[in-house]
Each structure stands twice: as C-alpha cells, then as structure tokens.
Chains A and B, each alone.
Chain A
Amino acid sequence: MSASPGRTGGHDVVRPFVMTGGRTRSERRDLRIETMLTAVPGASTSGLSAEQVKLLKLCQRPQSIAEASAELGLVIGVTTILASDLVSEGRLEVHQTDPVEIELDVLSRMIDAVRAL
C-alpha cells in the first residue's frame, strides 16, 4: 500500500479548518484581512487551543488578520474564525472597522506619508 498520509490530493487545505471545528466562515462580518486586533489587557488564555494562545500572544501588539496569518502560517479564513471566537469571549478587541467614507484629513496624512518615502 502506497498511501501517504496527509499528502493525498486536495486535502491540505481542508485540514487547517479542523482547528475551527470545520467552520469555514466567521459569524462576524467586520473581520477583514486588514482588520487590526489587539489582545484585551489581562485576557486569560485558559481553555484556549494552542493556535488561539499563539494568536492572542501575537496580538499583544496590534496585528492585522493578514499579518497574524502570515506569522502563524495559517490561511486567512482560519485566523478569522479563531479571532472571531476570541473577540466573542472578550479576549481580543477589534479596532475601528466601520465602513466610513474616507475623510480628507485622513487622505492628507496618507499623502504626506507616501511623499516622505
């Protein structure tokens, strides 16, 4: 028998979602790839999975979901679901994500920063 566990075609993507209990979609709609997350001061890690502990530790400094995914080697969808649970439990805070139209003063700050490159 030549079965090679874990390398059978196509399942490499499915396996990460075991960490999320098979869920592939977050309940929260405000978590996008650029959304910044920060660990709530004093948040407990009790009862968390190893991946969630890593995520929470990483978020001692503000991290976007994309950065956390790159750092932890997780696909974006998995990080989003893990983060979503931590937010629901009050361990992780979501930074401003309101879909507001961008204001002129915010654009000016961006323009100054880009010019300074």
Chain B
Amino acid sequence: MTIQPEGRPAAEPWKPRIRAVKFVVAGGFGAGKTTFVGALSEIPPLRTEAAMTSVGARVDHRRGSETKTHTTVAMDFGRLTVDEHLVMYLFGTPGQERFGFMWDDICSHALGAVVLVDTDRLDQSFPAVDYFEAKDIPFVVAVNRFEGSDRHDLGAVREALGVSAHVPMTECDARETGSAKEVLLQLLDELVNAARARTAALT
C-alpha cells in the first residue's frame, strides 16, 4: 500500500512549503486561556498531552540516573490559517506554575505570547511574566474581565506584576472574538516594531 496525497499528481516535484508560526497563551489556572484560544481559533480547541518523562530524563542526565516523572500535562491549542503557505497556532500553556520548567518544549521558537491575568489570582501570573522576560519572548499582558467584575486600574496591575513599562497591557473579554483579536493584534504590532527596529539597526 502506498500513500497518495490528495489532489497532487505524483509526478509533480514537490517541496514542503507551509510555514507554521506559534504563539503561546499563558496564565494561571482558570485565567481563560482555552476560552481565549477558542475565541480566535478556526477549529474548536484541540487537546493534547505532553509527557514530562523526557524533561526528567534530560534534567538528570548528567548524574547518570534515569528519573521518570509519571505525569502528563494537557494543553489546548487552536489554529488560524492565514493562507495556503502560512498557519498560526495558539498554544495554551499547561496550567499551574509548577509546570514552568516544561514550557521550554512548548515555547521554543514561539513568536510571542499573551499573558492572561485574573486579578483575583494575580500571583498566578508571575511565573509566566518571569518566564517570557527571561527568554526574551515578546509578550502582552491582558487582564481578563470576567462577567460582573469591575474595571481594573491597569497601572496598579502593572505595578503589582512588576511588568516593564514597554510591555503592552490591556483589558479583554476572552470570550469575545473581537476583544481577543485586539489582544493578538497588539502582540503582532509589537513584533512589527521589533522587526522594524532590527531593520533600522542594520542600515
């Protein structure tokens, strides 16, 4: 049996040509990550699992011991097809801060990140903010405005989180496509600014 791709003549020379770019949506448990991904995704968010086994094996490698952490973490993700050559993926990071050490596998080569904040649980946002700052991954902070909750003083949230002044911060309703897309556009604007700065530095 052979596999024949749909709609593609076998004789035609073929080169892989779809570029996939990745964005990460982080935040504490219940901050609305999957809701946010779902508001932007063209498919209902898919759930998959990553095993921590490999992480344990890598960490303990030098000691010659093979420690296996028997845990999987679930993550939800969505997709946004730009055109036939470009696809955007939005990955929700697995929940709690104790999984921070396995974010490397998920976040490597991410173009940027959204940190969703629940102001009732501000402390749960610290690991994500610290992580993206340490890894130099551009990010924006979005305070999820849950139904019935008051508007927030973004300056106070910024101060509480210790987020630098240059990091964009906004409020959003993660359930609303229109609101979620403004957050993503803000992140893309940041990437445009960074790309322009790189170009300017070269000339």
Which positions in A face B, CB cutoff 8 Å? 9-14, 16-17, 24-25, 32-36, 38-46, 56-57, 59-62, 64, 66-67, 69-70, 75-78, 91, 93-96, 99, 101-104, 106-115, 117
Contact = CB atoms under 8 A, between A and B. Distances in A.
Contacts of B192: 104, 107-108, 111
Contacts of A75: 48-51, 72
B89 A117 contact: no
Contact of B53 (A66, A77, A106, A113): A77
A38 B3 CA distance: 11
A79 B105 CA distance: 14
Contact of B18 (A16, A25, A91, A95): A95
B54 A77 contact: yes
B177 interface: yes
Interface residues of B, number: 60
Chain A to chain B: the 4 pairs with minimum beta-carbon distance, closest first:
A10-B70, A95-B16, A70-B46, A34-B22
25 contacts: A9-B70, A12-B70, A13-B51, A13-B72, A25-B54, A32-B105, A32-B109, A36-B16, A38-B5, A41-B8, A41-B10, A41-B14, A42-B3, A42-B4, A44-B1, A66-B77, A69-B48, A76-B49, A76-B50, A95-B18, A96-B18, A111-B192, A113-B88, A114-B185, A114-B188
A12 B52 CA distance: 12
B2 A33 contact: no
